[in-house]
């Protein structure tokens, strides 16, 4: 059977960043260290209790740089936010939390050395991971435009000042405060972005209206859409910690016939499997003992992405893969059903 993607981690520390945000660092056992190495910009999925009993799954971006200390998430309190309030109020060093492995595609390409980063509020969290990692590399440059309600809402304010002072000529931080300049507008953002529109890539994270305004501003400033990467989070509708029963994985029922065969390459192993027509590819692989990665199981995080080499599949849902990803053959295993009689995929 595949190894479980669910791990119970102990909280190493809780640091209050602002009046309404905290950073939570996790102790990772030595035998899991390699599995919890993350890419800059990725997230962890936590299982949190909800009032009245039961659990909910929530995704929180990692603010730590890969390999630089324990994996750390930064969480901002949200009005009526059950999960964020529980994390801010209840987690203490020594608490234990069920966590899925790092996932997410909000990751800059290695060859992109000149980045334009745009964050609103707690959207700074994955941006901070990216910024920390990039400033640790020679030859890279970044401009950060960071919008907040007021000065006391600026997460990582001290560290951003230190990073700017420590990397003159490589890092420029521009703060936008609603209390001073008002809400950011497309015109204002376009003027700010225009001098940096030649950056290798722009990465955006923040509230929906802010991201929409930034995307419009970047287009107005002349930055091509394929160089813009946006992080999108939503509440999960299902519980990815509750694994499917074997019967569901096997595709029982009259409509679940042989369907297709699939050749899969994963972790240096090649397997050929019968693929019932109504069985999702991820469920098929894990039911057959393959340690296929996943996180949300809802087509929203890309943790299960693999590459289609031959054949055709149908994705029931896709909220993360862009047109260029699809053109390169990438599919989401958690949402893919067979269309052709034979399919080949690789995770290598």
Are 199 and 225 a contacting pair, CB within 8 Å? Answer: no
pLDDT of residue 232: 75
Whether 79 shows a pLDDT value over 50: the answer reads: yes
d(CA 30, CA 7): 13
d(CA 27, CA 107): 24
pLDDT of residue 256: 45
**Pairing verdict, β 342-346 and 330-332:** unpaired
pLDDT band for position 255 (cuts 50, 70, 90): very low
Angle formed by the axes of helices 157-166 and 124-135, nearest 10°: 30
Average pLDDT, stretch 281-303?
A: 88
Residues 6-100: name the CATH superfamily: Translation factors (2.40.30.10)
pLDDT of residue 295: 82
d(CA 52, CA 32): 33
* 254-346 is a CATH 1.20.1250.20 domain: no
| Residues of each domain in the chain carrying CATH 3.10.20.30 | 254-346
Numbers of helices and strands, H then E, in the chain: 9, 18
> Model confidence over 89-130: pLDDT tens digits?
999 999 999 999 898 889 999 999 999 999 999 999 999 999
> Model confidence over 299-345: pLDDT tens digits?
888 889 999 999 999 999 998 888 888 999 999 999 999 999 999 99
| Residues of each domain in the chain carrying CATH 3.40.50.80 | 114-230
> Model confidence over 176-235: pLDDT tens digits?
999 999 999 999 999 999 999 999 999 999 999 999 999 999 999 999 988 999 987 666
Cross-strand bridge partners of residue 164: none
| For the chain, percent of residues with pLDDT exceeding 70 | 92
Are 318 and 299 a contacting pair, CB within 8 Å? Answer: yes
Average pLDDT, stretch 38-63?
A: 89
Reduced to 3 states, what is the DSSP secondary structure of residue 151?
Answer: helix
pLDDT of residue 252: 43
Average per-residue pLDDT for the chain: 90
- Count the helix, strand and coil residues of the chain and give each as a percent rounded to the nearest 5: 25, 30, 40
DSSP secondary structure string, 266-312?
A: ETTEEEEEEE-TTS-HHHHHHHTT-----SSSSSSS-TTEEEEEES-
Output the CA–CA distances (angstroms, integers) from residue 40 to 103, 109, 219, 247, in the order listed: 10, 10, 25, 37
**H-only helix segments in the chain:** 82-90, 124-135, 157-166, 178-181, 186-193, 208-221, 246-250, 281-287, 323-327
Average pLDDT, stretch 165-185?
A: 95
d(CA 305, CA 152): 39
Are 59 and 320 a contacting pair, CB within 8 Å? Answer: no
For residues 7-19, one letter each, b for 16 or more C-beta atoms within 10 angstroms of the residue's C-beta and e for the rest, the string is: bebebbebeebbe
Whether 59 shows a pLDDT value over 60: the answer reads: yes
DSSP 136: T
Average pLDDT, stretch 165-179?
A: 96
Reduced to 3 states, what is the DSSP secondary structure of residue 157?
Answer: helix
Fold of the domain spanning 114-230: Rossmann fold (3.40.50)
d(CA 5, CA 297): 12
Whether 44 shows a pLDDT value over 90: the answer reads: yes
Location of structure tokens 């995080």 = 301
pLDDT band for position 67 (cuts 50, 70, 90): confident
| For the chain, percent of residues with pLDDT exceeding 90 | 73
């Amino acid at each position: 059977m595949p190894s479980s993607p669910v791990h119970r981690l102990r909280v190493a520390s809780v640091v209050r960043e602002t009046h309404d945000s905290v950073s939570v660092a996790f102790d990772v056992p030595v035998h899991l260290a390699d599995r919890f190495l993350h890419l800059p910009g990725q997230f962890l999925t936590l299982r949190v209790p909800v009032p009245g009993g039961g659990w909910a799954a929530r995704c929180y971006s990692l603010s730590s740089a890969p390999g630089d200390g324990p994996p750390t998430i930064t969480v901002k309190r949200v009005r009526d936010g059950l999960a964020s309030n529980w994390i801010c109020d209840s987690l203490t060093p020594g608490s234990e939390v069920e966590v899925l492995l790092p996932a997410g595609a909000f990751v800059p390409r290695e060859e992109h050395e000149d980045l334009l980063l745009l964050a609103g509020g707690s959207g700074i969290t994955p941006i901070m991971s990216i910024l920390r990692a990039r400033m640790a590399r020679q030859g890279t440059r970044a401009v950060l435009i960071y919008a907040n309600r007021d000065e006391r809402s600026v997460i990582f304010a001290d560290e951003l000042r230190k990073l700017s002072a420590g990397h003159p000529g490589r890092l420029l931080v521009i703060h936008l405060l609603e209390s001073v300049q008002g809400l950011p507008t497309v015109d204002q953002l376009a003027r700010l972005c225009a001098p940096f529109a030649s950056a290798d890539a722009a990465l955006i994270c923040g509230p929906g209206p802010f991201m929409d305004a930034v995307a419009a501003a970047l287009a107005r400033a002349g930055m091509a859409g394929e160089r813009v990467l946006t992080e999108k989070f939503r509440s999960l509708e299902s519980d990815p910690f509750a694994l499917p029963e074997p019967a569901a994985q096997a595709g029982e029922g009259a409509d679940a016939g042989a369907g297709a065969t699939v050749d899969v390459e994963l972790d240096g192993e090649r397997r050929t499997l019968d693929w019932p027509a109504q069985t999702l590819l991820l469920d098929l692989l894990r039911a057959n003992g393959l340690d296929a990665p996943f996180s949300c199981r809802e087509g929203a995080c890309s943790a299960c992405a693999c590459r289609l080499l031959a054949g055709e599949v149908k994705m029931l849902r896709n909220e993360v893969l862009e047109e260029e990803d699809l053109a390169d053959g990438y599919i989401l295993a958690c949402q893919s059903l067979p269309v052709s009689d034979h399919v080949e995929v690789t995770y290598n």
